[in-house]
Copies of this chain bind each other. A is one copy, B any other.
């Protein structure tokens, strides 16, 4: 029986830094640019330390996914209970870096089963939480589609538009934003007129 590999603690500052650096690499240069050497270089440590904290690169990707997801879950919980959950749901996906990171994770998930499973699981948790918030809220909005459909539509279009804009597309994007946001304002209380 081999001696179990040593590994750093969850709360280590260095560990946090390695995750931060990895996120930045993925956003800037894609998941394929992630390597223990590159991470080490950007973080100012040695490659061996990456393996000390995470074992394999897959474990590192998993840790990154979990941290990000938990952050977002917490943030979402707060915002969804506000007075305009549809709108906050809509805004949630607007962050460009977040959208790129998600794209990279989805591309990763396409061929790394552990990532796919974990990512799908978190996505479903998000959806369940959002659905609950909407169900409590949407009944009296007079919408003709089920809350879950409204949810899938808003989340899907939000992501889609950010990706198209991030790719450099322009046709129809501003117009679609306007139509959707007008619709949301109509459903939920419009902001106070200036």
Contacts and interface: CB of A to CB of B under 8 A. Distances in A.
Nearest to A147: B172
A164 to B, nearest CB: 7
A116 B167 contact: yes
A171 B131 contact: yes
A179 interface: yes
A187 to B, nearest CB: 15
Q: Interface residues of A: mostly helix, strand, loop or mixed?
A: helix
Size class of the A contact interface (CB-based, 8 Å): 35 or more
Nearest to A167: B120
Interface string A94-108: 000000100110111
A116 B168 contact: yes
A123 B164 contact: yes
Counting chain B CB atoms within 10 Å of each CB, the highest count among A104, A151, A167 belongs to A167
A100 B161 CA distance: 18
A156 B30 CA distance: 23
Contacts of A108: 30
A111 B29 contact: yes
A137 interface: no
A160 B171 contact: no
Interface in A146-185: 146, 148-149, 151-153, 155-157, 159-161, 163-164, 166-173, 175-176, 179
12 contacts: A28-B111, A103-B106, A103-B110, A116-B168, A120-B167, A128-B171, A146-B179, A148-B176, A151-B172, A152-B172, A152-B176, A160-B160
